Structure 1
Amino acid sequence: MPKVSEQYRKERRREIMSAVLKCFARKGIKATSITDIITESGLSAGAIYGHFGNKEELVLFVVSEVFDLLGEETGTNEPSAEVPHPAQLIRGVLARIRTEIGNPALLLQIWGEAVTEPKVRELFNRVYGVLSKQFSSRASLWFQEHGLSEAEADRRAAQLMPLLIGVGQGYMIQSTLIDSFDDQAYFESFENLLSQP
C-alpha cells in the first residue's frame, strides 16, 4: 500500500473540517452526528475514522483550527505602513472569520462548548492570550503615533485590550442575534470613542 503524504493528510483533514463547519452551522455542534459529516463530506466512514477516532476528537480539531485562525497575526509588519486604528484590528479578525468559516455564529456555539468542556476552554484561553498580546502591541503603536510616550501608550493599550476583544465578541453576538444590526454604525461608534487618545 502506498504511503500517504503529510500534505495529503492535511488536505483531507481540511476537507473534513469544511464539511464539519457546514454541519455545525446548519444543525449546531451537539446535534451534528458523524453520519451527518459523512453525508456532507461525501467521504466514507473509514475515511473519517482514519483521521479522527470519534466526534470529540473531530470537534476539538475543528475548534483548534478556528481558534488558530483567530490567533493569526493581524495587521502589517511593514515599517512604512500606517498603523491601523484599533477598530481595524478587530475588523481584520472578523474578515478572516467570514472568509474562512462563514457566519460568525459558529463561534457562539464554540464559546458555549467552552463553558462545559475543559479542553475547549483551554484552547479558548490560549487564543485569548495570543490576541491580547497582538492587540496590546498594535494599539500601543497607534497611541504612540498619536502623541503618547511609549510608557503611556503601553499603559493605555493594556487598558484598552479587554475592550478591543469585547468589541469583537459583541459584534459576533449582535450580528448573529439582532436582525436590525448595523455593521458600519457599530464600528464607527467605537472609532469615535477612540478618536482622541
Structure 2
Amino acid sequence: MARVSQEHLDARRRQIVEGAARCFARDGFHATSMQDVLKETGLSAGAVYRYFPSKDAIIVALALEVLERVGGSFSRAAAAEPPVQPGDVLADTLEEVLQTLDVPPSLIIQVWAETLRNPELAAVLHRGINAVIASWTAIAQNYQRQGLMRDDVPAEHVARTVAACVQGFLIQRALLAPDLRPDVLRDGLRGLTSLTLD
C-alpha cells in the first residue's frame, strides 16, 4: 500500500476545515451537522473522522488556526526594529487574516460565543488571546523604552485596549458593516495617537 505524503494529509485536513468553515458561516455551529460537513467537502465519513472525531474538534482547529496566524503576526511586530505604528500592525494583521484564512468575522464571533459552553474551546481561546496580549505588551514596552509612548501607563493596559479594538472591529464588520476595511483601524489609531491637548 502506497504511503500517503504529509503534504496530502495537510491538504485533506485543510479541505475539511475550509468546508466546515463554509457550513458554520452559512448555518451556524449548532445547525451544522457532520453530515453537512461531509456533503460540503465531498469526503467520506472515514476520511473526515480520521482527522476530526467531532464537530467540536473542527471548531477548535478553526480557532487555533486564526489565533496562530494573528499571534505570529503580532510576535513579528513585537520584534520589529524600528518599531511599527500600532495602526499599521493591526491593519496589516487583520488584512492578512481576512485574505488568507477566508474566515468571516461572523464565524469568529460564533467561536467566541461557543466558548461559553465548550471548555476545550475556551481554553484554546484564552491561551491564544493571552499570547496576543503578551505580544502587544512587548510592543508597548518597546515603544516606552524608545521614548515613543508614555511610560506611566501599564503596557498591559495598552495591550488590552488594542485587543479590544480588534474585537470591536470584527463585531462591527460582522454585524453592521460587512465591507469595513482594516485601514479604518490604521487611520483611527493614527488620529488618536496624534491628539494634542493643552
Q: Same fold (TM over 0.5)?
A: yes
Partner of 1:135: 136
Question: Is the contact between residue 73 and residue 134 of structure 1 (CA under 8 Å) also seen in structure 2?
Answer: no
Q: Confirm or deny that 1:177 pairs with 2:178.
A: no
- Match in the other structure for 2:190: 191
In terms of mean alpha carbon deviation, does 24-33 or 59-68 score higher? 59-68
Measure how far apart 1:167 and its partner are: 0.1
Looking at structure 2, the residues matched to 63 and 185 of structure 1 have their Cα atoms a distance apart, in angstroms, of 24
Q: Which residue of 1 aligns with 2:127?
A: 126
1:95 deviates by: 1.3
Cα deviation digits, residues 87-124 of structure 1 (max 9, x gap): 22221331122121242221101001112211111011
Distance in 2 between the 1:186 and 1:148 partners? 19
Query: Per-residue deviation at 1:186?
Result: 4.9
Cα distance in structure 1, aligned partners of 2:124 and 2:94? 19
Structure 2 Cα separation of the partners of residues 3 and 173 of structure 1: 45
Q: 2:161 aligns with which of 136, 153, 163?
A: 163
Note the C-alpha offset of 1:128.
1.0
Taking structure 1 as the reference length, the TM-score comes to: 0.83
- Of the structure 1 ranges 179-188 and 15-24, higher mean CA displacement relative to structure 2 is found in 179-188
SS at match of 1:50: helix
What pairs with 1:1-197 in structure 2 (closer than 5 Å)?
Answer: 1-74=1-74, 75-76=76-77, 77=79, 79=81, 82-99=82-99, 100-147=101-148, 152=151, 155-179=153-177, 183=181, 184-195=183-194
- 2:116 match: secondary structure: helix
- Greater mean alpha carbon deviation, residues 127-136 or residues 83-92: 83-92
Letter in 1 for 2:14: R
Q: Over residues 29-83 of structure 1, what are the superposed CA-to-partner deviations in whole Å (9 max), with x where a residue is unaligned?
A: 111111111111121222112222222222222222222222223345454xx42
Unaligned runs of 5+ in 1: none
Identity %: 24
Separation in structure 2 between the aligned mates of residue 67 and residue 186 of structure 1, nearest angstrom: 19
Aligned CA-pair RMSD: 2.5
Query: What TM-score results when the alignment is normalised by the length of structure 2?
Result: 0.83
More RCO (CA 8 Å, sep 6+): 2
CA contact (8 A) 2:70 2:93 kept: yes
CA distances 1:107-151 after superposition (whole Å, capped 9, x unpaired)? 1010011122111110111011111111121233234445458xx
Distance 1:188 1:109 in 2: 28
Unaligned runs of 5+ in 2: none
Give the match's secondary structure for 2:168.
Answer: helix
Aligned residues: 192
Structure 1 counterpart of 2:142, one-letter code = L
